[in-house]
Chain A
Protein backbone atom coordinates (compact mmCIF):
# COMPACT_ATOMS: atom_id res chain seq x y z
CA UNK A 1 0.00 0.00 0.00
CA UNK A 2 1.47 3.38 -0.95
CA UNK A 3 1.89 6.42 1.23
CA UNK A 4 -0.91 8.16 -0.64
CA UNK A 5 -3.37 5.35 -0.10
CA UNK A 6 -2.87 5.52 3.62
CA UNK A 7 -3.30 9.24 3.52
CA UNK A 8 -6.73 8.77 1.97
CA UNK A 9 -7.96 7.05 5.10
CA UNK A 10 -8.22 10.49 6.60
CA UNK A 11 -11.17 12.29 5.04
CA UNK A 12 -10.53 14.37 1.93
CA UNK A 13 -10.89 18.10 2.06
CA UNK A 14 -12.39 20.33 -0.59
CA UNK A 15 -10.41 23.58 -0.20
CA UNK A 16 -7.54 24.06 2.18
CA UNK A 17 -4.17 22.64 3.05
CA UNK A 18 -2.79 19.19 3.69
CA UNK A 19 0.44 19.21 5.62
CA UNK A 20 1.95 15.81 5.06
CA UNK A 21 5.14 14.06 6.18
CA UNK A 22 5.05 15.89 9.50
CA UNK A 23 7.53 14.44 11.98
CA UNK A 24 5.61 11.86 14.01
CA UNK A 25 4.24 13.37 17.20
CA UNK A 26 4.32 16.98 15.98
CA UNK A 27 0.76 17.30 14.63
CA UNK A 28 -0.56 19.17 17.64
CA UNK A 29 2.36 21.56 17.44
CA UNK A 30 1.53 22.16 13.78
CA UNK A 31 -1.99 23.10 14.87
CA UNK A 32 -0.51 25.39 17.48
CA UNK A 33 1.59 27.12 14.82
CA UNK A 34 -1.59 27.65 12.80
CA UNK A 35 -3.32 28.99 15.88
CA UNK A 36 -5.96 26.28 15.63
CA UNK A 37 -7.45 25.01 18.87
CA UNK A 38 -10.89 24.08 17.57
CA UNK A 39 -12.58 27.19 18.90
CA UNK A 40 -12.48 28.89 15.48
CA UNK A 41 -14.76 26.29 13.94
CA UNK A 42 -12.27 25.11 11.29
CA UNK A 43 -12.75 21.60 9.97
CA UNK A 44 -9.52 19.77 10.80
CA UNK A 45 -8.37 16.18 10.40
CA UNK A 46 -5.30 14.91 12.13
CA UNK A 47 -3.48 11.63 11.57
CA UNK A 48 -0.85 10.73 14.12
CA UNK A 49 1.79 8.03 13.86
CA UNK A 50 0.56 6.93 10.47
CA UNK A 51 2.88 4.43 8.70
CA UNK A 52 5.03 6.18 6.08
CA UNK A 53 7.42 4.69 3.53
CA UNK A 54 9.59 7.78 3.76
CA UNK A 55 9.61 8.45 7.51
CA UNK A 56 8.58 5.18 9.13
CA UNK A 57 5.87 7.00 11.01
CA UNK A 58 4.45 10.41 10.25
CA UNK A 59 1.68 12.80 11.18
CA UNK A 60 -0.73 14.41 8.71
CA UNK A 61 -2.77 17.56 9.25
CA UNK A 62 -5.60 18.60 6.97
CA UNK A 63 -7.23 21.96 7.43
CA UNK A 64 -10.30 23.07 5.53
CA UNK A 65 -10.43 26.66 4.30
CA UNK A 66 -6.97 27.72 5.36
CA UNK A 67 -3.60 28.38 3.72
CA UNK A 68 -0.31 28.97 5.49
CA UNK A 69 1.52 32.26 5.79
CA UNK A 70 5.26 32.40 5.18
CA UNK A 71 5.95 32.82 8.92
CA UNK A 72 3.95 29.69 9.64
CA UNK A 73 5.85 27.74 7.02
CA UNK A 74 9.17 29.02 8.42
CA UNK A 75 8.40 27.74 11.91
CA UNK A 76 6.98 24.53 10.49
CA UNK A 77 10.35 23.91 8.84
CA UNK A 78 11.94 23.82 12.29
CA UNK A 79 9.66 21.24 13.89
CA UNK A 80 8.86 19.21 10.77
CA UNK A 81 11.72 19.63 8.30
CA UNK A 82 10.44 16.88 5.99
CA UNK A 83 6.92 18.26 5.73
CA UNK A 84 5.19 18.79 2.41
CA UNK A 85 2.43 21.33 1.99
CA UNK A 86 -0.33 20.50 -0.43
CA UNK A 87 -2.78 23.20 -1.37
CA UNK A 88 -6.16 21.78 -2.26
CA UNK A 89 -8.86 23.37 -4.43
CA UNK A 90 -12.01 21.46 -5.32
CA UNK A 91 -10.51 18.21 -3.97
CA UNK A 92 -7.44 18.48 -6.22
CA UNK A 93 -3.85 19.18 -5.20
CA UNK A 94 -3.05 22.35 -7.11
CA UNK A 95 0.31 23.00 -5.50
CA UNK A 96 2.77 20.84 -3.57
CA UNK A 97 5.72 22.36 -1.74
CA UNK A 98 8.47 21.13 0.56
CA UNK A 99 9.23 23.33 3.53
CA UNK A 100 12.60 25.05 3.39
CA UNK A 101 14.76 26.03 6.29
CA UNK A 102 15.09 29.81 6.44
CA UNK A 103 17.61 32.15 8.06
CA UNK A 104 15.08 33.60 10.45
CA UNK A 105 11.52 33.24 11.66
CA UNK A 106 9.28 36.15 12.64
CA UNK A 107 6.20 36.03 14.82
CA UNK A 108 4.74 32.67 15.93
CA UNK A 109 7.49 31.91 18.48
CA UNK A 110 7.65 33.51 21.93
CA UNK A 111 11.00 34.29 23.54
CA UNK A 112 11.47 32.13 26.65
CA UNK A 113 13.31 34.97 28.41
CA UNK A 114 10.59 36.73 30.41
CA UNK A 115 12.80 39.79 30.66
CA UNK A 116 13.14 40.09 26.87
CA UNK A 117 11.66 43.30 25.48
CA UNK A 118 9.56 41.24 23.05
CA UNK A 119 7.56 40.04 26.07
CA UNK A 120 6.86 43.56 27.28
CA UNK A 121 3.81 44.75 25.33
CA UNK A 122 5.85 46.69 22.80
CA UNK A 123 4.76 47.00 19.16
CA UNK A 124 7.17 44.33 17.91
CA UNK A 125 6.98 40.84 16.39
CA UNK A 126 9.43 38.31 17.71
CA UNK A 127 12.33 37.41 15.44
CA UNK A 128 14.60 34.42 15.79
CA UNK A 129 17.70 33.64 13.79
CA UNK A 130 17.85 29.99 12.74
CA UNK A 131 21.06 28.22 13.81
CA UNK A 132 22.26 24.70 13.06
CA UNK A 133 20.69 23.31 16.21
CA UNK A 134 17.96 25.72 17.20
CA UNK A 135 16.97 29.35 17.11
CA UNK A 136 18.14 32.54 18.77
CA UNK A 137 16.15 35.62 19.74
CA UNK A 138 17.34 38.56 17.63
CA UNK A 139 16.52 40.94 20.49
CA UNK A 140 17.96 39.39 23.66
CA UNK A 141 20.10 36.58 22.24
CA UNK A 142 18.40 33.78 24.16
CA UNK A 143 18.86 30.44 22.42
CA UNK A 144 16.31 27.65 22.09
CA UNK A 145 17.44 24.17 21.09
CA UNK A 146 15.74 22.66 18.07
CA UNK A 147 13.99 19.98 20.14
CA UNK A 148 12.52 22.66 22.42
CA UNK A 149 11.21 25.01 19.71
CA UNK A 150 7.68 23.56 19.82
CA UNK A 151 7.36 24.58 23.49
CA UNK A 152 7.70 28.22 22.52
CA UNK A 153 4.97 28.51 19.90
CA UNK A 154 2.64 31.41 20.57
CA UNK A 155 -0.55 29.58 21.43
CA UNK A 156 -2.56 32.75 21.04
CA UNK A 157 -2.27 31.94 17.31
CA UNK A 158 -1.43 34.15 14.38
CA UNK A 159 -4.81 33.91 12.68
CA UNK A 160 -3.27 34.81 9.35
CA UNK A 161 -4.28 34.15 5.77
CA UNK A 162 -7.79 32.85 5.69
CA UNK A 163 -8.87 31.49 2.33
Chain B
Protein backbone atom coordinates (compact mmCIF):
# COMPACT_ATOMS: atom_id res chain seq x y z
CA UNK B 1 0.00 0.00 0.00
CA UNK B 2 1.13 3.55 -0.67
CA UNK B 3 2.96 5.19 2.19
CA UNK B 4 4.38 8.24 0.52
CA UNK B 5 3.18 11.17 -1.55
CA UNK B 6 0.85 10.60 -4.50
CA UNK B 7 2.04 13.01 -7.19
CA UNK B 8 1.65 11.27 -10.55
CA UNK B 9 -0.16 8.19 -11.77
CA UNK B 10 3.05 7.36 -13.62
CA UNK B 11 4.55 6.47 -10.24
CA UNK B 12 1.86 3.88 -9.46
CA UNK B 13 2.62 0.21 -10.02
CA UNK B 14 -0.05 -2.34 -10.73
CA UNK B 15 0.41 -3.65 -7.18
CA UNK B 16 -0.07 -0.14 -5.72
CA UNK B 17 -3.23 0.33 -7.72
CA UNK B 18 -4.71 -3.06 -6.94
CA UNK B 19 -3.99 -2.66 -3.23
CA UNK B 20 -5.96 0.61 -3.15
CA UNK B 21 -8.82 -0.77 -5.27
CA UNK B 22 -9.09 -3.96 -3.21
CA UNK B 23 -9.13 -2.00 0.01
CA UNK B 24 -11.71 0.40 -1.45
CA UNK B 25 -13.92 -2.54 -2.40
CA UNK B 26 -13.67 -3.92 1.12
CA UNK B 27 -14.60 -0.51 2.58
CA UNK B 28 -17.44 -0.17 0.10
CA UNK B 29 -18.79 -3.54 1.20
CA UNK B 30 -18.40 -2.80 4.91
CA UNK B 31 -17.43 0.72 5.99
CA UNK B 32 -17.20 -0.50 9.59
CA UNK B 33 -13.79 -2.05 8.91
CA UNK B 34 -12.21 1.41 9.04
CA UNK B 35 -14.64 3.03 11.45
CA UNK B 36 -12.87 5.54 13.68
CA UNK B 37 -9.45 4.38 12.50
CA UNK B 38 -8.06 7.88 12.07
CA UNK B 39 -9.78 9.62 14.96
CA UNK B 40 -7.85 12.69 16.03
CA UNK B 41 -6.03 13.02 12.75
CA UNK B 42 -6.37 15.99 10.45
CA UNK B 43 -6.31 16.28 6.67
CA UNK B 44 -5.51 19.72 5.24
CA UNK B 45 -7.36 20.72 2.09
CA UNK B 46 -5.28 23.19 0.08
CA UNK B 47 -7.29 24.12 -2.99
CA UNK B 48 -5.82 27.00 -4.97
CA UNK B 49 -8.47 26.39 -7.62
CA UNK B 50 -12.19 25.79 -7.23
CA UNK B 51 -13.33 22.21 -6.72
CA UNK B 52 -16.58 20.60 -5.69
CA UNK B 53 -16.32 16.84 -6.10
CA UNK B 54 -12.68 16.29 -5.33
CA UNK B 55 -12.65 18.49 -2.27
CA UNK B 56 -15.94 17.23 -0.85
CA UNK B 57 -15.11 13.59 -1.46
CA UNK B 58 -11.74 13.94 0.29
CA UNK B 59 -13.51 15.69 3.15
CA UNK B 60 -16.17 13.00 3.35
CA UNK B 61 -13.55 10.25 3.12
CA UNK B 62 -11.49 11.68 5.98
CA UNK B 63 -14.56 12.15 8.18
CA UNK B 64 -15.73 8.61 7.53
CA UNK B 65 -12.31 7.41 8.66
CA UNK B 66 -13.00 9.19 11.95
CA UNK B 67 -10.65 12.09 11.21
CA UNK B 68 -11.22 15.74 10.56
CA UNK B 69 -10.29 18.30 7.93
CA UNK B 70 -9.01 21.86 7.87
CA UNK B 71 -9.57 23.95 4.79
CA UNK B 72 -7.29 26.70 3.51
CA UNK B 73 -10.37 28.41 2.09
CA UNK B 74 -10.49 30.43 -1.08
CA UNK B 75 -7.23 31.86 -2.36
CA UNK B 76 -8.74 35.35 -2.36
CA UNK B 77 -9.00 35.31 1.43
CA UNK B 78 -5.64 33.64 2.17
CA UNK B 79 -2.01 34.63 2.60
CA UNK B 80 -1.41 33.49 -0.98
CA UNK B 81 -3.15 36.66 -2.02
CA UNK B 82 -0.37 38.54 -0.23
CA UNK B 83 2.22 36.86 -2.44
CA UNK B 84 3.27 33.94 -0.23
CA UNK B 85 5.02 31.17 -2.15
CA UNK B 86 3.48 27.72 -2.44
CA UNK B 87 6.59 26.32 -0.72
CA UNK B 88 6.02 28.51 2.35
CA UNK B 89 2.27 27.89 2.39
CA UNK B 90 2.60 24.11 2.51
CA UNK B 91 5.44 24.23 5.03
CA UNK B 92 3.18 26.16 7.38
CA UNK B 93 0.10 24.01 6.81
CA UNK B 94 2.14 20.84 7.29
CA UNK B 95 2.40 21.85 10.94
CA UNK B 96 -1.38 21.71 11.30
CA UNK B 97 -2.13 18.40 9.64
CA UNK B 98 -1.22 14.73 9.22
CA UNK B 99 -1.60 14.83 5.42
CA UNK B 100 -2.18 17.41 2.69
CA UNK B 101 -4.37 17.42 -0.40
CA UNK B 102 -3.27 20.01 -2.95
CA UNK B 103 -4.92 21.43 -6.02
CA UNK B 104 -3.01 24.18 -7.79
CA UNK B 105 -3.19 25.79 -11.24
CA UNK B 106 0.50 25.23 -12.13
CA UNK B 107 1.91 22.03 -13.59
CA UNK B 108 4.52 20.52 -11.29
CA UNK B 109 3.13 22.28 -8.20
CA UNK B 110 2.45 19.03 -6.33
CA UNK B 111 5.96 17.76 -6.90
CA UNK B 112 7.40 21.04 -5.72
CA UNK B 113 5.16 21.12 -2.64
CA UNK B 114 6.06 17.51 -1.78
CA UNK B 115 9.72 18.52 -1.59
CA UNK B 116 8.93 20.91 1.25
CA UNK B 117 6.80 18.68 3.48
CA UNK B 118 7.32 15.43 5.37
CA UNK B 119 3.67 14.45 5.75
CA UNK B 120 2.00 12.62 2.82
CA UNK B 121 0.78 14.90 0.06
CA UNK B 122 -1.83 14.01 -2.55
CA UNK B 123 -1.91 15.80 -5.88
CA UNK B 124 -5.55 16.64 -6.47
CA UNK B 125 -4.81 18.31 -9.80
CA UNK B 126 -1.79 20.37 -10.89
CA UNK B 127 -2.80 22.57 -13.83
CA UNK B 128 -2.94 20.49 -16.99
CA UNK B 129 -0.65 17.91 -15.38
CA UNK B 130 -1.97 15.01 -13.34
CA UNK B 131 -4.89 14.04 -11.11
CA UNK B 132 -3.95 10.60 -9.78
CA UNK B 133 -6.63 10.17 -7.09
CA UNK B 134 -9.27 10.68 -9.78
CA UNK B 135 -7.50 7.95 -11.74
CA UNK B 136 -7.85 5.52 -8.85
CA UNK B 137 -11.59 6.02 -8.75
CA UNK B 138 -11.76 5.82 -12.55
CA UNK B 139 -9.91 2.49 -12.43
CA UNK B 140 -12.19 1.28 -9.65
CA UNK B 141 -15.21 2.08 -11.81
CA UNK B 142 -13.70 0.43 -14.88
CA UNK B 143 -12.79 -2.66 -12.88
CA UNK B 144 -16.32 -2.95 -11.48
CA UNK B 145 -17.92 -2.71 -14.91
CA UNK B 146 -15.51 -4.16 -17.47
CA UNK B 147 -12.57 -5.59 -15.55
CA UNK B 148 -9.06 -4.27 -16.10
CA UNK B 149 -7.58 -6.86 -18.43
CA UNK B 150 -8.08 -7.47 -22.12
CA UNK B 151 -10.33 -4.46 -22.55
CA UNK B 152 -10.53 -1.58 -25.02
CA UNK B 153 -10.86 1.93 -23.64
CA UNK B 154 -11.65 5.05 -25.66
CA UNK B 155 -10.73 8.41 -24.14
CA UNK B 156 -12.33 11.38 -25.87
CA UNK B 157 -12.38 15.18 -25.66
CA UNK B 158 -9.70 17.54 -24.42
CA UNK B 159 -6.71 15.22 -24.27
CA UNK B 160 -4.18 18.03 -24.34
CA UNK B 161 -5.13 19.86 -21.16
CA UNK B 162 -7.15 17.11 -19.45
CA UNK B 163 -5.22 16.10 -16.35
CA UNK B 164 -7.59 13.22 -15.61
CA UNK B 165 -6.80 11.91 -19.10
CA UNK B 166 -3.04 12.10 -18.60
CA UNK B 167 -3.19 10.25 -15.29
CA UNK B 168 -5.60 7.60 -16.56
CA UNK B 169 -3.53 6.94 -19.68
CA UNK B 170 -0.40 6.43 -17.58
CA UNK B 171 -2.14 4.08 -15.15
CA UNK B 172 -3.79 1.99 -17.88
CA UNK B 173 -0.34 1.04 -19.17
CA UNK B 174 -0.02 -1.13 -16.05
CA UNK B 175 -2.89 -3.29 -17.33
CA UNK B 176 -3.68 -5.21 -20.51
CA UNK B 177 -5.69 -2.39 -22.03
CA UNK B 178 -5.90 -1.16 -25.62
CA UNK B 179 -6.14 2.63 -25.52
CA UNK B 180 -7.80 4.76 -28.20
CA UNK B 181 -7.60 8.54 -28.02
CA UNK B 182 -10.27 10.51 -29.82
CA UNK B 183 -9.91 14.28 -30.14
CA UNK B 184 -9.59 17.17 -32.56
CA UNK B 185 -6.03 17.51 -33.85
CA UNK B 186 -5.49 20.66 -31.78
CA UNK B 187 -6.33 18.86 -28.52
CA UNK B 188 -4.44 15.59 -29.00
CA UNK B 189 -2.40 14.06 -26.20
CA UNK B 190 0.67 16.10 -25.29
CA UNK B 191 4.01 14.87 -26.54
CA UNK B 192 5.30 13.90 -23.12
CA UNK B 193 2.32 11.62 -22.44
CA UNK B 194 2.59 10.01 -25.89
CA UNK B 195 6.29 9.48 -25.19
CA UNK B 196 5.54 7.75 -21.87
CA UNK B 197 2.88 5.51 -23.41
CA UNK B 198 5.30 4.53 -26.15
CA UNK B 199 8.07 3.84 -23.61
CA UNK B 200 5.66 1.70 -21.57
CA UNK B 201 4.91 -0.35 -24.68
CA UNK B 202 1.21 0.50 -24.49
CA UNK B 203 -1.18 -0.32 -27.32
CA UNK B 204 -2.27 3.15 -28.35
CA UNK B 205 -4.06 4.64 -31.33
CA UNK B 206 -5.22 8.19 -32.00
CA UNK B 207 -8.35 9.17 -33.92
CA UNK B 208 -10.27 12.29 -34.79
CA UNK B 209 -13.52 10.39 -35.34
CA UNK B 210 -15.30 8.37 -32.63
CA UNK B 211 -17.17 6.23 -35.18
CA UNK B 212 -13.90 4.60 -36.25
CA UNK B 213 -13.50 2.89 -32.94
CA UNK B 214 -16.81 3.02 -31.04
CA UNK B 215 -17.98 -0.54 -31.90
CA UNK B 216 -14.80 -1.97 -30.33
CA UNK B 217 -15.00 -0.14 -27.02
CA UNK B 218 -15.70 -1.56 -23.57
CA UNK B 219 -15.33 1.86 -21.97
CA UNK B 220 -15.80 5.37 -23.37
CA UNK B 221 -14.28 8.03 -21.12
CA UNK B 222 -15.58 11.46 -22.14
CA UNK B 223 -14.04 14.75 -21.06
CA UNK B 224 -15.13 18.32 -21.47
CA UNK B 225 -13.75 20.51 -24.23
CA UNK B 226 -13.40 23.94 -22.70
CA UNK B 227 -14.36 27.15 -24.40
CA UNK B 228 -11.14 28.91 -23.39
CA UNK B 229 -9.01 26.47 -25.40
CA UNK B 230 -10.22 28.06 -28.65
CA UNK B 231 -9.51 31.55 -29.93
CA UNK B 232 -12.96 31.87 -31.50
CA UNK B 233 -16.42 30.95 -30.28
CA UNK B 234 -17.39 29.60 -33.70
CA UNK B 235 -14.43 27.23 -33.84
CA UNK B 236 -15.19 26.01 -30.32
CA UNK B 237 -18.83 25.31 -31.19
CA UNK B 238 -17.91 23.37 -34.30
CA UNK B 239 -15.30 21.24 -32.59
CA UNK B 240 -17.24 20.65 -29.38
CA UNK B 241 -20.28 19.60 -31.40
CA UNK B 242 -18.33 16.80 -33.03
CA UNK B 243 -17.38 15.27 -29.70
CA UNK B 244 -20.77 15.30 -28.03
CA UNK B 245 -22.57 12.02 -27.45
CA UNK B 246 -26.22 11.06 -27.25
CA UNK B 247 -28.12 7.81 -27.77
CA UNK B 248 -28.01 8.23 -31.53
CA UNK B 249 -24.21 8.53 -31.55
CA UNK B 250 -24.02 5.52 -29.25
CA UNK B 251 -26.21 3.38 -31.54
CA UNK B 252 -23.21 1.54 -32.97
CA UNK B 253 -21.65 0.93 -29.54
CA UNK B 254 -21.73 -2.45 -27.78
CA UNK B 255 -24.71 -2.79 -25.42
CA UNK B 256 -22.46 -3.20 -22.42
CA UNK B 257 -20.37 -0.09 -23.13
CA UNK B 258 -19.59 1.88 -19.96
CA UNK B 259 -19.76 5.63 -20.48
CA UNK B 260 -17.65 7.54 -17.97
CA UNK B 261 -16.90 11.21 -17.33
CA UNK B 262 -14.86 12.84 -14.54
CA UNK B 263 -17.58 15.55 -14.25
CA UNK B 264 -18.58 18.30 -14.31
CA UNK B 265 -20.11 17.86 -17.74
CA UNK B 266 -21.66 20.72 -19.65
CA UNK B 267 -23.33 19.29 -22.72
CA UNK B 268 -20.87 16.70 -23.99
CA UNK B 269 -23.13 13.87 -22.81
CA UNK B 270 -26.84 14.34 -23.52
CA UNK B 271 -29.05 13.86 -20.42
CA UNK B 272 -30.93 11.08 -22.26
CA UNK B 273 -27.84 8.88 -21.83
CA UNK B 274 -28.21 9.19 -18.03
CA UNK B 275 -31.26 6.94 -18.16
CA UNK B 276 -29.43 4.08 -19.90
CA UNK B 277 -27.43 1.29 -18.26
CA UNK B 278 -24.37 2.59 -20.08
CA UNK B 279 -24.18 5.71 -17.90
CA UNK B 280 -21.60 5.10 -15.18
CA UNK B 281 -20.51 8.67 -14.43
CA UNK B 282 -22.58 9.17 -11.30
CA UNK B 283 -21.44 5.81 -9.89
CA UNK B 284 -17.94 6.93 -10.80
CA UNK B 285 -18.32 10.14 -8.78
CA UNK B 286 -19.73 8.21 -5.80
CA UNK B 287 -16.77 5.84 -5.94
CA UNK B 288 -14.60 8.81 -5.02
CA UNK B 289 -15.39 8.34 -1.35
CA UNK B 290 -14.45 4.66 -0.76
CA UNK B 291 -11.44 5.00 -3.06
CA UNK B 292 -10.18 8.11 -1.27
CA UNK B 293 -10.87 6.45 2.09
CA UNK B 294 -8.68 3.55 0.97
CA UNK B 295 -6.02 5.91 -0.33
CA UNK B 296 -5.93 8.05 2.82
CA UNK B 297 -5.98 4.98 5.05
CA UNK B 298 -2.88 3.73 3.25
CA UNK B 299 -1.09 7.08 3.27
CA UNK B 300 -1.84 7.61 6.97
CA UNK B 301 -0.54 4.16 7.79
CA UNK B 302 -3.78 2.33 8.49
CA UNK B 303 -3.72 -0.73 6.30
CA UNK B 304 -0.68 -2.87 5.58
Contact = CB atoms under 8 A, between A and B. Distances in A.
Interface of A: 113, 115-118, 120-124, 136-143
Contact of B128 (A115, A121, A138, A143): A115
Nearest to A143: B192
A72 B191 CA distance: 27
A121 B106 CA distance: 12
Given A117-B109, A118-B108, A122-B112, 9 more contacts: A115-B106, A117-B86, A121-B85, A123-B85, A124-B112, A124-B115, A139-B112, A141-B193, A142-B107
Nearest to A142: B192
Interface string B192-223: 11010000000000000000000000000000
Contacts of B107: 113, 115-117, 139-142
A121 B112 CA distance: 12
Interface string B107-118: 111011001000
B106 A124 contact: no
A115 B127 contact: yes
A136 B192 contact: yes
Contacts of A136: 192
A124 B87 contact: yes
A139 B193 CA distance: 14
Given A113-B107, A121-B85, A122-B85, A141 B192 contact: yes
A124 B106 CA distance: 14
Nearest to A126: B108
B100 to A, nearest CB: 16
Interface of B: 85-87, 104-109, 111-112, 115, 126-129, 190-193, 195
A117 B86 CA distance: 9
A113 B104 CA distance: 15
Contacts, number: 55
A121 B111 CA distance: 15
6 contacts: A115-B106, A115-B127, A116-B108, A123-B87, A139-B111, A140-B106
A18 B190 CA distance: 40
Max count, chain A CB within 10 A of own CB: residue among B104, B106, B192, B195: B106
B130 to A, nearest CB: 9
Contacts of A121: 85
Contacts of B87: 122-124
Nearest to B129: A140
B85 A117 contact: no
Contacts of A141: 107-108, 129, 190, 192-193
A116 B192 contact: no
Most buried by B among A117, A120, A123, A142: A117
- Among B86, B107, B108, max chain A CB count under 10 A is at B108
B108 A137 contact: yes
Contacts of B108: 116-118, 137, 139-141
A34 to B, nearest CB: 27
Contacts of A137: 108
B129 A143 contact: no
Nearest to B105: A115
A130 to B, nearest CB: 14
Contacts of A124: 87, 112, 115
Contacts of A139: 107-108, 111-112
Nearest to B10: A141
Which 6 residue pairs of A and B lie closest in terms of their CB atoms, listed nearest first?
Answer: A139-B108, A140-B107, A140-B108, A117-B108, A117-B106, A141-B192
